[in-house]
């Protein structure tokens, strides 16, 4: 964004001739690949061929947990294609992604949109690297996130908004589990609804990239330590852009 002429280059790119992927089969192929890489970082192994197969299967016939997790992701991506982003729909997305997958201690209380206790943030080796924000602050902070999502933005602001959304949700950690998956789908959801030309180009991948994941967790830790300065996410965000 700081390179001379970069904004005009993006605007005038021939990619803009194919900028809206929302009614294209291209988006389906992207979703299959994104689900495969998104789940791999959490130890849920699948293949694109398997994901395509599960996309055609009835939910009620699934018996393997990995299959249920993949199917939930597929249904989650379908949900965001036809719904706007608000508190109720974020909660509905969370229920879709977590269906049949949570232990009792990981479930939300009836009537709660977010967790009701503290939660640890762990890395890929299950080592605690930080804690989510005070659970009592979550309704206010999530409403601020939703306000940011629905705020009118310039073209340039759209370029980074999905990354801000991704990292901020991880920073809040509003659920006992599935925060990473929620953040990645919400990031895509924003682009799909507000900046379709970016849907296939600027999906947040920092947590999916083993070379960047340590910086991802360090950003969370340093941000909290410095009094909630989220500028630490900037260096990780740049790695996503120039991967």
Q: What are the pLDDT digits (tens) for 12-59?
A: 554 444 455 555 566 777 788 888 877 877 778 888 899 999 999 999
Angstrom distance (rounded) from CA 46 to CA 51 = 7
Question: Most confidently modeled of 123-132, 172-181, 190-199?
Answer: 172-181
pLDDT for the residue 240: 39
Q: Count Cβ neighbours within 10 Å for each residue of 199-237 and write b for 16 or more, e otherwise.
A: bbebbbbbbbbeebbebbbbbbebbbeeeeebebbeebb
pLDDT for the residue 232: 57
pLDDT for the residue 55: 93
- Whether the pLDDT of residue 94 is over 90: the answer is yes
Q: What confidence tier does 103 reach under pLDDT thresholds 50, 70, 90? A: very high
pTM: 0.77
Angstrom distance (rounded) from CA 58 to CA 53 = 10
pLDDT for the residue 62: 96
Mean residue pLDDT of the chain comes to 80
The DSSP call for residue 147 is H
- The residues spanned by each domain of the chain are 20-241
Domain 20-241 has CATH 1.10.3290.10: yes
């Amino acid at each position: 964004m700081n390179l001379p002429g970069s904004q005009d280059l993006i605007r005038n790119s021939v990619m803009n001739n194919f900028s809206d992927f929302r009614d294209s089969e291209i988006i389906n192929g992207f979703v299959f690949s994104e689900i495969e890489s998104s789940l791999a970082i959490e130890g849920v192994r699948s293949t694109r061929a398997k994901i395509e197969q599960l996309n055609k299967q009835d939910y009620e016939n699934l018996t393997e947990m990995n299959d249920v997790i993949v199917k939930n992701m597929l249904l989650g991506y379908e949900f965001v294609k036809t719904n706007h982003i608000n508190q109720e729909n974020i909660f509905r997305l969370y229920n879709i992604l977590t269906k049949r997958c949570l232990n009792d201690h990981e479930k939300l209380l009836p009537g709660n949109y977010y967790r009701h206790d503290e939660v640890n943030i762990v890395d890929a080796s299950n080592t605690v690297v930080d804690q989510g924000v005070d659970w009592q602050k979550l309704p206010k902070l999530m409403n601020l996130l939703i306000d940011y999502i629905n705020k009118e933005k310039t073209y340039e602001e759209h370029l980074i908004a999905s990354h801000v959304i991704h990292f901020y949700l991880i920073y809040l950690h509003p659920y006992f589990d599935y925060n990473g998956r929620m953040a990645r789908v919400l990031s895509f959801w924003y682009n799909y609804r507000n900046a379709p030309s970016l849907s296939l180009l600027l999906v947040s991948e920092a947590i999916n990239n083993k070379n960047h994941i340590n910086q991802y967790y360090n950003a969370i830790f340093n941000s909290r330590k410095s009094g909630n300065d989220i500028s630490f996410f900037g260096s990780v965000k740049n790695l996503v852009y120039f991967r």
